[in-house]
């Protein structure tokens, strides 16, 4: 397939193939982008900047003081010109995400031009779609799934391998495993002001093929965004010891131990300081999926958990 040299042409290609912009998922839009622009090319910053040029987008870096507050990037469309700006000095991973995120937001405007009956996504929905699109481009589904299993669902190891943030990897894990198995994952990070560790991101997936291979009626068991560290929790133990901790037998019932959970909490320590901690929880019957991580890290084993993490 020849390279399309304008974002309008790429969006028109998607509309022709799927009928309407909203008939294609973010995963499918990302796949089309990879097939047309990125086939055989490394997923790196230089490539993504070249992609933007192919789409008729001018990319520039701005000093932090010239960027809108709390933004890593933004775009402008004026008289047919498309300009994309990212924060100078941002991480390579951050710039890569910004470029793809802003391209996807521009696509939404272009879709409305091509398909007058299409109602563009509003601000929050557009932002969410752009995040999913960027992640799907940078972490291709099948390759990522294989790496998830290869690492034993190790969020920190995946982030290192792909040079991406732990949060992006965690959320992508929930997306690609949806429908395959029951999973709960959470990331605790230090607050910039208080320096306390709180839960900033969480994800989950379920098994669609076998409804019985899921957990039901466990309200309150799994922490949610903003949760702090509970004394005696698996995460709390990992923080105290500054080592990965593994709970092989989290029981949920007084009657049977066969319907329990397994969990592993892995801290990320940089220059001696614990900066993040990733928690992954599976059904006990899927313990083998964690074995590559367990074998590599040799975590401390913590027994005796009952209806808590």
Helix (H) or strand (E) holding 69: none
Q: Are 162 and 135 in contact (CB under 8 A)?
A: no
Question: What is the pLDDT at residue 191?
Answer: 84
pLDDT in tens, 281-302: 999 999 999 999 999 999 999 9
Question: What is the pLDDT at residue 19?
Answer: 96
Question: What is the pLDDT at residue 1?
Answer: 43
The CA radius of gyration of the chain, in Å to the nearest whole number, is: 21
Q: What is the DSSP string of 171-183?
A: HHHHHHHTBT--E
CA angle, residues 130, 132, 133, in degrees to nearest 5: 65
Through-space distance between the first and last CA atoms of the chain, rounded to whole angstroms: 51
Half-sphere exposure of 115 (CA within 13 A, CB side): 21
Give me the residue label for tokens 């190891």: 157
Least confident of 70-74, 123-127, 137-141, 276-280: 70-74
Question: What is the pLDDT at residue 70?
Answer: 86
pLDDT in tens, 118-156: 999 999 999 999 999 999 999 999 999 999 999 999 999
Alpha-carbon distance of 146 to 150, in angstroms, equals: 6
Alpha-carbon distance of 112 to 7, in angstroms, equals: 13
Q: Are 133 and 26 in contact (CB under 8 A)?
A: yes
Alpha-carbon distance of 274 to 172, in angstroms, equals: 23
Characterize 107-144 residue by residue with b for buried, 16 or more Cβ atoms within 10 angstroms of its Cβ, and e for exposed. Answer: bbebbbebbeebebbeeeebeebbbbbbbbbbbbeeeb
Domains, the chain: 7-138 (1.10.10.2910), 141-301 (3.30.450.130)
């Amino acid at each position: 397939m020849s390279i399309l040299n304008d974002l309008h042409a790429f969006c028109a290609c998607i509309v022709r193939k799927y009928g309407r912009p909203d008939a294609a998922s973010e995963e499918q839009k990302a796949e089309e982008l990879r097939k047309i622009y990125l086939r055989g090319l490394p997923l790196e910053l230089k490539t993504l900047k070249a992609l933007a040029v192919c789409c008729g987008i001018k990319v520039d870096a701005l000093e932090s003081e010239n960027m809108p507050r709390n933004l890593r990037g933004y775009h402008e469309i004026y008289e047919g010109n498309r300009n994309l700006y990212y924060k100078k000095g941002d991480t390579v991973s951050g710039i890569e995400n910004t470029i793809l995120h802003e391209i996807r937001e521009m696509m939404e405007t272009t879709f409305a031009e091509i398909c007058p009956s299409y109602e563009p996504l509003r601000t929050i929905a557009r932002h969410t779609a752009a995040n999913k699109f960027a992640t799907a481009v940078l972490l291709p589904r099948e390759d990522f799934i294989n790496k998830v299993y290869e690492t034993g669902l190790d969020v920190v190891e995946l982030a290192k391998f792909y040079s991406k943030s732990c949060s992006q990897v965690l959320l992508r894990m929930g997306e690609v495993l949806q429908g395959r198995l029951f999973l709960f994952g959470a990331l605790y990070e230090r607050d910039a002001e208080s320096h306390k560790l709180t839960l900033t991101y969480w994800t989950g997936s379920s098994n669609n093929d076998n409804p019985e291979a899921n957990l039901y009626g466990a309200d309150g068991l799994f922490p949610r965004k903003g949760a702090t560290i509970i004394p005696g929790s698996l995460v709390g133990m990992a923080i105290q010891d500054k080592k990965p901790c593994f709970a092989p037998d989290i029981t949920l019932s007084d009657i049977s131990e066969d319907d329990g959970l397994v969990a592993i909490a892995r801290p990320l320590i940089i220059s001696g300081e614990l900066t993040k901690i990733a928690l992954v929880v599976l059904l006990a019957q899927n313990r083998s999926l964690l074995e590559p991580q367990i074998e590599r890290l040799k975590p401390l084993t913590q027994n005796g958990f009952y209806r808590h993490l």
